[in-house]
């Protein structure tokens, strides 16, 4: 009961308080009943947070609603797939925690073509030479690693700021490695085709004593005390690290904490991502080659935009030790180069177990550049090509089939599994949210540049509501997907597909198949388009051979972007180590 004053009247303050409480209760009821039973509301999210021990702001809850409803629909679709008890999830357990039982076998460096190579009159032309030519020049001592390193460092300083593709120049380290390479080669200790070649690392790869930012402000000053395994392997091969290159924040897109990486063919647009800087730097002739990584298109997409050639290896062939983890069951590291043969040289150097990444297996890489392409059984993704409509992009893809047939190949149609693919992206979302759990709970995600619905902060938050049961069920469907695709590709070495045809990009990242993406022409805006060659599991040699045969018959991979000579203002220049 409300208390009255001595005159028997209700106190005004109590009336206001009571009215306020009634309004608050009404507002909460309004939001509660605003959505029907099948839709989620802000109040529902708030109550669920309490159960999970989380605390988000009201605007963050509202931002999640669209994707939470979308996830619910995905769960509904996943639950419609029959899953007998005998179907396991696509996960593997090793009884030795954190240690791979595989032992790395010794391997010889790949051989180089015997075609004589001469130095160009204009030394700047070397910036666009493929590795096969640069390696021959260095091995024959027609040019030194130091000379080549200085050439690339100068180009990185000139064009890197305009393209916003460099986070850290590693000048001191590069010059030391180049001097060492020159001394070893002069003494007759040639390590192989990457000896003395300058390269760039996507900045999610740890380099001892040099900051590794993951492209994100919360980590922009982080320094590791050990090199990533692939960095070690390239140092052992004699390669020279000249720069840490940009990536989209935490491996999404081309926006990083200090800018947006530009497409060398059109600096007004981004280079796509997340291996944004790796693709842009290779295309612009700022490095001899680069390493990128892919979880769901992060090598294929920027290579398409920038006109480079990229290799996404079979899952489990390249160690990810020392690389930022986004999705433990999907992350892959691979090279971005000027040609398929260049990719073969780099892949051979970085592949194989390290005793630290338990997913890595040791498989042979029988690369033979002289093998006849007609020995391959090649397919094409029938449905994707049949859906192509009239446009230059699509005509470029159709032209690839004619080039391959002109090489004497009889292309066989292949179909993809009919199981739903798109709902399985909750596997990536859940693993990424787990990888950055501390960032979310500590509100460090507020420091990221991108804050919209389609950005990591929101994805990390809404992924906290993916039930563990659905994550496991999605992985069990992934097992069905892997089995089905294996049947459909039985007897096929490689199949060709539009790079973004259907759901082939997500599908083959989930199943772990290798891919080589190569430029195949230009669109109406004058920027590159691409085609993808998808190999059967562990058939990198065959996949690269087919891509090489295509490139030998065309010249799209030899085209260069029309770079200007101006650079961005001083404050945009990359930092030194």
Superfamily of domain 129-420+466-555 in CATH is Amidase signature (AS) domain (3.90.1300.10)
**DSSP per residue, 386-445:** HT--SSHHHHHHHHHHHHHHHTT---EEE----S--GGGGHHHHHHHHHHTHHHHHTTGG
Angle at 65 between CA 60 and CA 67, to 5 degrees: 105
Q: Is the dihedral of CA 382, 384, 390, 393 positive or negative?
A: negative
pLDDT digits (tens, 9 = 90+) for 164-174: 999 999 999 99
Of the residues 100, 272, 274, 303, only one is catalytic, namely: 274
pLDDT single digits (tens) 208-251: 999 999 999 999 999 999 999 999 999 999 999 999 999 999 99
pLDDT at residue 9, rounded to an integer: 58
* Whether residue 563 has pLDDT greater than 70: yes
413 backbone dihedrals φ, ψ, rounded to 5°: -70, 140
pLDDT digits (tens, 9 = 90+) for 491-529: 999 999 999 999 999 999 999 999 999 999 999 999 999
Q: Is 142 a catalytic residue?
A: no
Q: Name the phi and psi angles at 256, rounded to 5.
A: -120, -175
For the ranges 27-31, 426-430, 476-480, the lowest mean pLDDT is seen at 27-31
Domain boundaries, the chain: 1-34, 129-420+466-555
pLDDT in tens, 89-145: 888 766 666 655 555 566 777 888 888 899 999 999 999 999 999 999 999 999 999
Annotated catalytic residue 375: no
* 274 catalytically annotated: yes
Peptide bond into 274 cis (omega under 30): yes
Q: What pLDDT shows up at residue 31?
A: 53
Assess whether pLDDT exceeds 70 at residue 451: yes
Residue 293 contacts residue 204 (beta carbons within 8 Å): yes
pLDDT at 5 over 60: no
Residue 496 has φ and ψ, to the nearest 5°, of -105, 145
Q: Report percent pLDDT > 70 for the chain.
A: 88
Return the sign of the alpha-carbon dihedral for residues 176, 178, 181, 185. Answer: negative
Residue 1: band (very low, low, confident or very high) from pLDDT cuts 50, 70, 90: very low
pLDDT at position 2, please?
A: 46
Q: Per the structure block, which two tokens stand in for 284?
A: 């612009």
- What pLDDT is attached to residue 375? 97
Q: What is the pLDDT of residue 315?
A: 96
pLDDT band of 13, cuts 50, 70, 90: low
Beta bridge partners of 352: 318
pLDDT of residue 121: 94
Q: How far is CA 117 from the centre of its chain?
A: 34
At residue 123, what are phi and psi to the nearest 5 degrees?
-65, -20
Over the range 110-145, which residues count as b (16 or more CB within 10 Å of their CB) and which as e?
A: bebeeeebeeeeeeeebbbbbbbbbbbbbbeeebbb
**CA dihedral angle for residue 500, residue 505, residue 508, residue 512, rounded to 10 degrees:** 140
Residue 574 has pLDDT above 70, yes or no: no
- Give the closest residue to 412 by CA, choosing from 372, 385, 392: 385
569 pLDDT more than 50: no
What average pLDDT does this structure show over 530-555? Answer: 98
Measure CA of the first residue to CA of the last residue in the chain; give whole Å.
72
Gap between the Cα atoms of 165 and 247, Å rounded: 8
- How many whole angstroms separate alpha carbon 287 and alpha carbon 244? 11
Mean pLDDT in residue range 6-21: 63
User: Across-strand partners of 334?
Assistant: 292
Q: Which of 265-279, 380-394, 427-441, 450-464 has the lowest mean pLDDT?
A: 380-394
The reported pLDDT for the residue numbered 340 is: 98
Residue 499 makes CB contacts below 8 A (sequence gap 6+) with 300, 304, 505, 517, 530, 531, 532
Show contacts of 442-445: CB within 8 Å, 24+ apart: 444/218, 445/218
> pLDDT at position 35, please?
46
Residue 104 pLDDT: 56
Token readout for 455 is: 């950005």
- The 3-state DSSP class for residue 277 equals helix
Q: Are 207 and 214 in contact (CB under 8 A)?
A: no
Helix ranges restricted to H, 204-336 = 229-236, 276-283, 300-306
- Active-site residue among 100, 271, 298, 530? 298
The per-residue pLDDT for range 309-337, each reduced to its tens digit, is 999 999 999 999 999 999 999 999 999 99
DSSP states of 130-143? -HHHHHHHHHTTSS
Give the Å distances, CA to CA, from 474 to 169, 411, 460. Answer: 42, 33, 18
Write down the mean pLDDT value for the chain: 91
Report whether 293 contacts 331 (CB < 8 A): yes
> Cα–chain-centroid distance for residue 19?
56
DSSP string computed for 152-182: HHHHHHHHHHHHT-EEEE-HHHHHHHHHHHH
pLDDT at 7 over 50: yes
Q: Give the model's pLDDT for residue 114.
A: 84
> E-strand spans in 457-548?
494-498, 515-522, 528-535
Tell me how crowded residue 194 is: count the other CB atoms within 10 A of its CB.
30
pLDDT at 393: 74
Are the C-beta atoms of residues 271 and 254 closer than 8 Å to each other?
yes
Token pair recorded at residue 468: 């563990």
* From 202, 232, 332, 539, active-site residue: 202
């Amino acid at each position: 009961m409300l208390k009255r004053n001595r005159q028997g009247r209700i106190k005004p303050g109590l009336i206001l308080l009571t009215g306020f409480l009634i309004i608050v209760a009404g507002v909460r009821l309004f939001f509660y009943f605003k959505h029907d039973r099948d839709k989620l509301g802000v109040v529902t999210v708030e109550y669920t947070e309490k159960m999970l021990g989380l605390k988000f702001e009201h605007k963050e809850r509202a931002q999640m609603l669209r994707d939470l409803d979308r996830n619910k629909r995905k769960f509904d679709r996943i639950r419609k797939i029959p899953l007998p008890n005998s179907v396991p999830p696509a996960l593997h357990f090793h009884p030795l925690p954190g240690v791979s039982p595989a032992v790395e076998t010794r391997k010889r460096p790949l051989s180089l073509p015997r075609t004589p190579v001469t130095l160009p009159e204009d030394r700047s032309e070397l910036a666009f030479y493929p590795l096969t030519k640069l390696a021959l020049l260095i091995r024959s001592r027609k040019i030194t690693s130091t000379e080549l390193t200085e050439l690339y460092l100068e180009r990185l300083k000139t064009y890197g700021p305009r393209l916003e593709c460099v986070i850290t120049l590693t000048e001191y380290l590069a010059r030391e490695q180049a001097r060492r390479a020159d001394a070893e080669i002069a003494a007759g200790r040639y390590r192989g085709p990457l000896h003395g070649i300058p390269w760039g690392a996507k900045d999610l790869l740890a380099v001892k004593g040099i900051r590794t930012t993951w492209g994100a402000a919360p980590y922009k000053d982080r320094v590791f005390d050990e090199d990533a395994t692939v960095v070690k392997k390239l140092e052992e091969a004699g390669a020279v690290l000249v720069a840490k290159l940009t990536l989209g924040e935490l491996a999404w897109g081309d926006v990083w904490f200090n800018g947006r990486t530009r497409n060398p063919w059109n600096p007004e647009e981004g280079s796509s991502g997340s291996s944004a800087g790796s693709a842009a730097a290779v295309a612009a002739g700022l490095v001899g080659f680069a390493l990128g990584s892919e979880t769901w298109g992060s090598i294929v997409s920027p290579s398409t935009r920038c006109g480079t050639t990229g290799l996404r290896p079979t899952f489990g062939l390249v160690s990810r030790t020392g690389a930022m983890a986004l999705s433990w069951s999907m992350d892959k590291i691979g090279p971005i180069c000027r040609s398929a043969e260049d990719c073969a040289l780099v892949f051979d150097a970085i592949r194989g177990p390290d005793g630290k990444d338990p997913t890595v297996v040791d498989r042979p890489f029988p690369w033979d550049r002289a093998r006849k392409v007609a020995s391959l059984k090649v397919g094409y993704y029938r449905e994707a090509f049949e859906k192509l409509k009239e446009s230059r992009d699509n005509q470029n893809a159709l032209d690839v089939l004619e080039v391959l047939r002109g090489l004497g190949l009889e292309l066989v149609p292949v179909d993809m599994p009919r199981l739903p693919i798109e709902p399985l992206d909750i596997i990536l979302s859940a693993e990424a949210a787990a990888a950055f759990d501390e960032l979310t709970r500590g509100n460090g995600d507020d420091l990221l540049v991108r804050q919209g619905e389609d950005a990591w902060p929101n994805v990390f938050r809404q992924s906290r509501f993916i039930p563990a049961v659905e994550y496991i069920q999605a992985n069990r469907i992934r097992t069905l997907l892997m089995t089905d695709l294996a049947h459909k590709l039985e007897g096929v070495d490689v199949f060709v597909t539009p790079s973004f045809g259907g759901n082939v990009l997500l599908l083959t990242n989930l199943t772990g198949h290798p891919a080589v993406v190569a430029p195949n022409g230009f669109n109406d805006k004058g920027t590159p388009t691409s085609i993808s060659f998808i190999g059967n599991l562990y058939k990198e040699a065959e996949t690269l051979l087919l891509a090489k045969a295509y490139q030998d018959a065309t010249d799209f991979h030899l085209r260069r972007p029309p770079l200007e000579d101006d650079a961005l203002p001083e404050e945009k220049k990359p930092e030194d180590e």
